[in-house]
Chains A and B, each alone.
Chain A
Amino acid sequence: MIETLRSTLDRHAAQVAPRPDPYARVLLRRRRRRTRRVSAAALLAVLLVVAPATWLSRQPDPARPVAGHPPVALLPLLDSPTRGSLAGKPAYLLALRERAAGEDDMWREHPAGAPRLPRDPEQIKVLFAGDIGSRRIAVVAGLDSRPLYAVYQGAVGDDAAELRYSASGQLEPVLATDFASGGDDPSQTYLLLGPLGAVYEKAELSFTSAGVQRTWTPLPEPGDYAAFADLRGRHEFRVLLAGKVLLETSGGHAIPLEGGRRPAVDPQPAGGRGEPFPDAAAQVAQALSNSTGLALPEVTFRVLWSEEIDRPGTTTGRAYVVTVQAVLADGSGPFLTGAVDTGDGSFRDHPTGYGIAGDVAHTLIVMRLPHYAESPGDRLQLVAPPLAVRAEVSNGRQTHQVTLVDGVGHLDVPPGMTVTVRAYDAANALLAEKQYVDLDGFGCNRFDPWSCASPPPTRAPAPSR
């Protein structure tokens, strides 16, 4: 494990290169910092002169930087009774609170002012304590103005001191946490914990030309929370309280279908859009099958676009980039764009490389390409109907023309830009239109992220220089 870790760290560290003029930037930052400090000191002096002593006497104790009441949004969860099979064992819950309050390694090493769980056990709440399958799981949270949570896990029968710290973070209105199983088992232990009275639902997914259809079904008992001892595959869940969606998320890992065999895919790209790369196409098809749960004979797989292009950060500087679609009966279906390093074969994707497409003659795909360097770069890839010869790319103020070859082209668009792309054929007829928004992460559903209660994070515009 250590050698693998070293190799991982070496590989990622090797990709890092500094931006120009680091020394000049340090000096600039130092000057700004001094300016801010002078301003802050001046402001503080004014406040000290004019503020009444009584106001000063009410300042919070500096030793308790997070003292105060929890945010209103978290109260339903924090006010709920402890859930889980150990909830009725007060001695166990007290031991958990004392353990969390005295967690030296996790919290007390943090510098002054850093958020941490309170040191007073009375200020810690046990949200969950119980056994899920063969695991014993405990979740605690701080009762202060910036509540954190910590998750512990162990085996059934472990006392509070024997549980191992597992994860921590800022508490949200619903807590979702997972634990990988050991060995070859791809299943997970999964816990969704919302306020008392919350409704937990799981979605059945179906892909159509209009997007992803989700049919929500309430989970069976116990009802006070949702727990899976061995969740297999990736599933979408949501948690509602009084009809309002508190959380919509996906849980579990996608598992290989068809016994891990790669689905058959013709590597020849549709409409002659690029060159065939059979091995890369098969890898992307399998990733698509695993992600969607779609497999032969329910769907067929076809390559929409396939090229070998420059990709900085790869071992060779080049990567095969392939878009594969799982084709449903009506000719539409989800697609995924994957990149495969031509040297070491490592795989990458990008949030904008997922979607639902119609038939080849009327579909326009606009995406950033998977990247191996830190940034995706400015390249915006267009995969238009094969008969398209040009595209207009407009941000509302400017319009750029892009020449398409067999429906394929690209242009540079800075990060964070929202653009409208229109593809035209040689007779100037509009073949397809698409609005593109830069994404910086995945939504609850990778193929239809805008259908989620919480849309995916969008990429901020690049700062002006």
Chain B
Amino acid sequence: MPDEDFQSFVEQRYTALLRTAYLLCGSHDRAEDVLQNALAAALPKWRRMDHPDAYLRRVMVNQLANDWRRPIREIVTAVLPERAARDAAIEERDELWTALRRLPVRMRAVLVLRYWEDRSEQETAEILGVSAGTVKSTASRGLARLRELVEPRLSSDLSTVNGGN
């Protein structure tokens, strides 16, 4: 019999978890899918679970890591075109989004958990089941890779971008 606590948890946390899932995979359909799978997996263990948020995030990341994607090919089907240079701040963000989707799943997960969910290195490490040192080095490499991937002509004015937002 489904647990009322579980129902309440789903109703309260679904949108937030869905947003995390979306940032991890970049697809609304896929985000719903991995979150639904994670919740379905959590249901039978619900009573024994101390940190359901962390458990669900870990399951979602593992699912996505299993579904092997091809990061180099993703740029071929990217929706964003060459754009006029005027709206550099907005374009920079879109370039970053495109670049983020090219990162390996676990690297992307570290960036999302650390910089969007504002989790500490230790929290991020516990969610992903790795060491805090791995989180630190992965975050550092992820940011470096993003800088490399962002189209140079649009990234030349990062200080303006930051100031303008």
Contacts and interface: CB of A to CB of B under 8 A. Distances in A.
- A complexed with B: yes
B156 A184 contact: yes
Interface in B114-149: 115-116, 128-130, 134, 137-138, 141, 143-149
B161 interface: yes
A228 to B, nearest CB: 16
Given A9-B115, A105-B137, A183-B152, A346 B87 contact: yes
Contact of A185 (B11, B91, B152): B152
Interface string B19-41: 11011000111011000110110
A165 B43 contact: no
Contacts of B28: 16, 374-375
Interface in A144-192: 148, 164-170, 176-186
A286 B79 CA distance: 17
B7 A23 contact: yes
B76 A19 contact: no
Interface string A13-28: 1001111001101110
A180 B95 CA distance: 13
Question: Which among A12, A110, A253, A255 has the highest number of chain B CB atoms within 10 Å?
Answer: A12
A91 interface: no
B147 to A, nearest CB: 6
Contacts, number: 209
Nearest to B117: A9
Interface string A40-82: 0000000000000000000000000000000000000000000
A140 interface: no
Given A186-B151, A346-B94, A176 B40 contact: no
A23 B22 contact: no
A312 interface: no
A250 B78 CA distance: 13
A428 B125 CA distance: 69
A111 B137 contact: no
Contacts of B7: 23
A166 B76 CA distance: 17
B84 A347 contact: yes
Interface residues on B, range: 35 or more
B134 A13 contact: no
A317 interface: no
B165 A3 contact: yes
Nearest to B8: A23
Contacts of B116: 5-6, 9-10, 13
Determine the main DSSP class of A at the interface with B. Answer: mixed
B15 A4 contact: no
B152 A4 contact: no
Question: Which among B19, B31, B149 has the highest number of chain A CB atoms within 10 Å?
Answer: B19
Nearest to B35: A22
B72 A176 contact: yes
A12 B144 contact: no
Contacts of B14: 18, 22-23
Interface of B: 2, 7, 10-11, 14-15, 18-20, 22-23, 27-29, 31-32, 36-37, 39-40, 43-44, 62, 65-66, 68-73, 76-77, 79-87, 90-94, 96-97, 100, 102, 104, 106, 111-112, 115-116, 128-130, 134, 137-138, 141, 143-153, 156, 158, 161-162, 165
Q: Nearest 8 CB-CB pairs, A to B? A: A441-B77, A374-B28, A169-B70, A254-B82, A13-B19, A9-B116, A290-B82, A283-B84
6 contacts: A5-B116, A5-B146, A16-B15, A16-B22, A109-B65, A349-B79
